[in-house]
Chains A and B, each alone.
Chain A
Amino acid sequence: MAWFKKPGVTTAENRKRAKNVEGLWLKCNHCREIVYRKEVERNSKVCPKCDYHFPISVQERIALLVDLGSFKEWAADIEPQDPLSFTDTRSYRERLKAQQEKTGRKDAIVIGEGTINGRRIALGVFDFGFMGGSMGSVVGEKICRVAERALALRIPLMLVTTSGGARMQEGILSLMQMAKTSAVVAQLGEARVPFICILADPTFGGVTASVAMLGDVIIAEPKALIGFAGPRVIEQTIKQQLPDAFQRAEFLMDHGMIDMIVERKHLKETLNQLLSHL
């Protein structure tokens, strides 16, 4: 490493090096400490200083939950439409195209089946990277499909949520996905098919106020932000600063809204243990 290099000289090589160094370290979203990226990755993407659970990709999530190689995706080719011909500063169609190119996915959820220690389960995992994991017609439809398959096969359903809420660009149709998914989950309940929700950071709005809160058992990841109204909206409404831990998983736990907070590395064994009772 060059210890005595003149400051202020930005060569192409310098820029490249800066980027590499940046890539080696990571700033924790929660405790703001600078942590070694490799250590975080070894630790199932959990901050070694404060236990904050970094967002992980859908693939990483699936790998963490089900037995190696057991996942089979369902209905991957269901695509969104633009029912309102919605345009704000950009058209919804353009946004969708950009997000699809970015993520290689048609919309904000992946559904399918896999096994947990050999037991067959149905699984849905939200992708926050696709328009903030927002629930429009496709997400609603796929949640219904995975629930219906779970019902037909009589296998437990698990849903991992990370979402900003309903997808505004689909207007009232996105709001109705809350009713649509809740209705299907209600039928799952009547048939006594287990439904477990795993709430990851962040889970808000229409997703919390529908499927996410309807699990027979609700698990949250440590320090995940979970709520109905976003903190900014609440702050603007009540004109007060919000308490520190407000809407964190621990806050929900204290208020009796969830069953447990489970660290990522213990998630699979916890699910396995739960399933043995359901």
Chain B
Amino acid sequence: MREYLEFEKPIREIEERLQKLISTGGSRASVQEETKKLKARLARTEVELYRKLTAWQRAQLARHPQRPGVLDYLDAMCRDFIELHGDRVFGDDQAVLGGFARFNGRSVMIIGHQKGKTLKERMQRNFGMPNPEGYRKALRLMKLAEKFSRPIITFIDTPGAYPGIGAEERGQAGAIARNLSVMSRLKVPIVSVVIGEGGSGGALALSVADRVLMLEHSIYSVISPEGCAAILWDDPSKTPDAAEALKMTAKDLLGLGVIDDVIPEPLGGAHRDPQTAVDRVAKSLTSHLAQLADSSGEELLARRAQKYRKIGTVVESVAGRK
């Protein structure tokens, strides 16, 4: 069953009418004529609707409950996935999963946030919001990849790091900070793909990378649009405005030089045609990994350092304005 978002109502209406029409028996010429018309209208409406999505509508697509998660990509793209568990300190955080797998016949380390599909799984995975253990597990696996010279692919899909008492007690901030610093110096290629929601520091802690790619309707932001509206506008109804102002869509981020590539999605979003989404992500990953394959560890480090060093906009006035 397809789940419709609020803004997809026009599509839902046409599809429901179509269903009704078909179920009333469709052999009569007039019915067939009507069906054809409706189908054409549906196609037009869809193209029209998805062509000019607002940032807030994209955010809803990025969080769509049926959107493919890291496990869907893994299953479809890789062979021989062998999951590795635990941070060796406190626990095994299921909001983050990782392990070795074979991609294009090569051994790689795959790490990603997993939100979960059923309610039970979502609760087990804490809706994709990691505790410090999740970041420590990821760090341990990334170091393991470096030790055996395996490239790292990370899939980003999280509302953010979990804000809880235990998370603070066990050093959420320090865990994120360590990932940022260590990832900036790992001597193997790292490619990150934002496949859904890139929620602030919780997303960044797995995506300091040589290449950062984003699916077309994914979002990546310093704060959720809801949080931003609550803090800056003091008004939750301003969420769509906040989404727009934050410039959180893939296209915005490409323009700001923060990401390297946008991967186009099937019409209506990755969940409408997961196979196509998987194929496109795999193709993009293949090409970016190939571009990085010939670089030495030192070259990777130098380029990665330079890449992050340049991010940001400042003006430096010439002497005399002091």
Residues of A bordering B, CB below 8 Å: 75-81, 83-84, 86-89, 136-138, 140-141, 144, 166, 168, 170-180, 182-187, 189-190, 205-206, 208-214, 227-230, 233-234, 237-238, 240, 242-243, 246-247, 251, 255-257
Contact of A175 with B309 at beta-carbon distance under 8 Å, contacts A78-B315, A228-B172 already known: no
B107 within 8 A of A: no
21 pairs of residues in contact across A and B, judged by CB atoms under 8 Å? A75-B316, A77-B316, A79-B315, A88-B228, A88-B241, A137-B314, A138-B312, A166-B200, A166-B222, A168-B223, A168-B246, A172-B222, A183-B208, A186-B181, A205-B201, A206-B222, A209-B205, A212-B177, A233-B163, A234-B168, A255-B169
Contact of A178 with B201 at beta-carbon distance under 8 Å, contacts A81-B313, A228-B168 already known: yes
Q: In the bound complex, how far is the Cα of B308 from the Cα of A141, in angstroms?
A: 11
Least CB distance from A273 to B in Å reads 24
Q: Render B222-257 as a binary contact track against A, CB cut-off 8 A, 1 for contact.
A: 110001100111000010011001111000110010
Q: In the bound complex, how far is the Cα of B163 from the Cα of A136, in angstroms?
A: 22
Quick check: B180 and A178 within 8 Å, CB to CB? Answer: yes
A-B interface contact total, Cβ < 8 Å: 202
Q: In the bound complex, how far is the Cα of B318 from the Cα of A77, in angstroms?
A: 8
Residue of B nearest to A89 (CB): B233
Quick check: B177 and A176 within 8 Å, CB to CB? Answer: no
Q: Render B121-155 as a binary contact track against A, CB cut-off 8 A, 1 for contact.
A: 00000000000000000000000000000000000
Contacts of A234 in B (CB 8 A): 163-165, 168
8 new A-B contacts at CB < 8 Å, known A77-B316, A238-B164: A81-B315, A173-B311, A183-B208, A209-B205, A214-B181, A229-B164, A234-B164, A246-B168
Main secondary structure of the interface of B (DSSP, over half): helix
Contact of A86 with B245 at beta-carbon distance under 8 Å, contacts A78-B316, A79-B316, A183-B309 already known: yes
Contacts of B312 in A (CB 8 A): 136-138, 140-141, 170, 173, 176-177, 180
Contact of A83 with B313 at beta-carbon distance under 8 Å, contacts A89-B233, A168-B232 already known: yes
Quick check: A229 and B167 within 8 Å, CB to CB? Answer: yes
The bracket for how many chain B residues form the interface is 35 or more
Residue of B nearest to A186 (CB): B181
| CB contact between A257 and one of B174, B176, B204, B308 (< 8 Å): that residue | B174
Quick check: A172 and B253 within 8 Å, CB to CB? Answer: yes
Contact of A138 with B314 at beta-carbon distance under 8 Å, contacts A171-B221, A172-B253, A228-B173 already known: yes
The 10 closest A-B pairs by CB, nearest first: A229-B163, A137-B312, A183-B184, A182-B180, A208-B173, A88-B232, A228-B173, A175-B222, A209-B176, A213-B177
Least CB distance from A16 to B in Å reads 34
B305 within 8 A of A: yes
Q: In the bound complex, how far is the Cα of B181 from the Cα of A75, in angstroms?
A: 24
Least CB distance from B255 to A in Å reads 10
Q: In the bound complex, how far is the Cα of B172 from the Cα of A79, in angstroms?
A: 31
Least CB distance from B158 to A in Å reads 13
Contacts of A233 in B (CB 8 A): 163, 227
Quick check: A172 and B184 within 8 Å, CB to CB? Answer: no
Quick check: B163 and A87 within 8 Å, CB to CB? Answer: no
B9 within 8 A of A: no
Q: In the bound complex, how far is the Cα of B208 from the Cα of A186, in angstroms?
A: 13
